């Protein structure tokens, strides 16, 4: 385990895998979801390294993150013999191979992705993945992805079938579109026509080959910037469109590899790719956005993917 300030970015001492998973934690919820997420990473059948970015957390909360990484668990409820609901937990026998990087920098999803990407580039990782604190991986996901990576050397991004939970209830699956008959030109692979019709690729849980993506990333300030940090809401949509336009191939592995948990909140931060349905009614001070601005960013993504550089377009209120 390593704990570092953001200026120190070397992970070589703790490196044990060719896969680096990144999670950004700007609020520590007390719902055990982070413990469950870390449990899924600690118990991967193909081990991974994990970097945890903690933003402005208290000393107590950082200590709790360390505790959860070293002793992750999953919790659940069941009824006992008296039909009473009781809380249960399963403790992991393994810990996460993790590094905590403490930062006060506000990061949107693009900045998070780029920071993890550059960490991987600097420290010799073959691929990265990103998750949000409340989500989780199938324990065989990286073993499965590794097998597909070896067998499909021309593919740069491997997305999992995602199980989507909304307020605890199953709401459907994601990333399945390329396998639906007639949706894509080649079964299992995203193409430009499909993505221009539907924003149907989710970045969470996917495995990204570092060298393949770096070839088409903008080089700025001595770093690589695969995602455009000026984009809001549709940053990852623009990224996927641009990658395919540059002939970077994206495939969905037909396996359930990731679980997303979405909970209705009265705020939104753009460090998350989960856009709340009530975004327009959330106050601007809590991350809300008007329908016009949300539409602007969606349409901008479909225009800007032709350009490799981030042209830093901004939304302007209509007169």
The pLDDT of residue 1? 59
List the domain range (segments joined by +) for residue 112.
Answer: 7-75+88-304
Burial of 104: CB neighbours in 10 Å, binned 0-12, 13-18, 19+: exposed
Compare 310 and 31 and report the one with higher pLDDT: 310
Confidence bin at 97 (pLDDT 50/70/90): very high
The pLDDT of residue 30? 80
Res. 8: pLDDT tops 50: no
DSSP-assigned beta bridge partners for residue 155? 249
Res. 88: pLDDT tops 50: yes
Confidence bin at 9 (pLDDT 50/70/90): low
**What residue ranges in 30-126 does DSSP mark as E strands?**
49-55, 73-79, 85-91, 97-103
Residue 258 lies in a domain: yes
Residue 178 lies in a domain: yes
Overall number of domains in the chain: 1
Residue 316 lies in a domain: no
The pLDDT of residue 7? 42
Residue 277 lies in a domain: yes
Residue 314 lies in a domain: no
The pLDDT of residue 2? 65
Summarised one tens digit per residue, pLDDT across range 200-258 is 999 999 999 999 999 999 999 899 999 999 998 899 999 999 999 999 999 999 999 99
Compare 314 and 76 and report the one with higher pLDDT: 314
**What residue ranges in 104-236 does DSSP mark as E strands?**
127-131, 136-137, 155-166, 169-174, 207-209, 218-220, 223-225
Residue 317 lies in a domain: no
Residue 43 lies in a domain: yes
CATH number at residue 180: 3.90.550.10
Residue 286 lies in a domain: yes
Non-local CB neighbours of 224 within 8 Å, separated by 6+ positions: 114, 117, 118, 121, 214, 217, 218
Average model confidence (pLDDT) across the chain? 93
Burial of 199: CB neighbours in 10 Å, binned 0-12, 13-18, 19+: middle
């Amino acid at each position: 385990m390593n704990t570092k300030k953001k200026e120190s970015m070397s992970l070589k001492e703790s490196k044990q895998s060719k896969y680096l998973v990144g999670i950004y934690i700007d609020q520590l919820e007390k719902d055990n979801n982070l413990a469950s997420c870390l449990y899924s990473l600690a118990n991967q059948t193909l081990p991974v390294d994990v970097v945890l970015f903690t933003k402005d957390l208290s000393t107590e909360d950082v200590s709790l993150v360390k505790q959860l990484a070293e002793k992750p668990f999953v919790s659940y409820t069941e009824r006992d013999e008296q039909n009473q609901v009781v809380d249960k937990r399963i403790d992991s026998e393994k810990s996460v191979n993790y590094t905590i990087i403490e930062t006060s920098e506000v990061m949107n999803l693009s900045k998070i992705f780029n920071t993890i990407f550059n960490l991987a580039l600097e420290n010799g990782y073959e691929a990265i993945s990103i998750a949000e604190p409340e989500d989780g991986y199938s324990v065989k996901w990286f073993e499965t992805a590794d097998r597909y990576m070896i067998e499909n050397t021309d593919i740069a991004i491997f997305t999992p079938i995602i199980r989507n939970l909304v307020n605890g209830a199953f709401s459907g699956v994601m990333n399945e579109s390329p396998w639906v008959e007639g949706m894509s030109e080649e079964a299992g692979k995203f193409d430009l026509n499909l993505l221009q019709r539907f924003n149907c690729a989710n970045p969470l849980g996917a495995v990204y080959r570092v060298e393949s993506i770096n070839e088409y990333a903008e080089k700025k300030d001595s770093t690589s910037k695969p995602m455009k940090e000026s984009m809001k809401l549709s940053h990852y949509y623009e990224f996927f469109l641009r990658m395919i336009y540059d002939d970077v191939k994206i495939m969905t592995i037909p396996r359930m590899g990731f679980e997303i948990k979405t909970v209705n909140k009265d705020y939104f931060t753009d460090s998350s790719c989960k856009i709340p349905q009530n975004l327009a009614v959330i106050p601007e001070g809590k991350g809300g956005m008007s329908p016009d601005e949300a539409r602007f960013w969606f349409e901008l993504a479909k225009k800007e993917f032709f350009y490799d550089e981030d042209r830093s377009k901004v939304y302007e209120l209509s007169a």
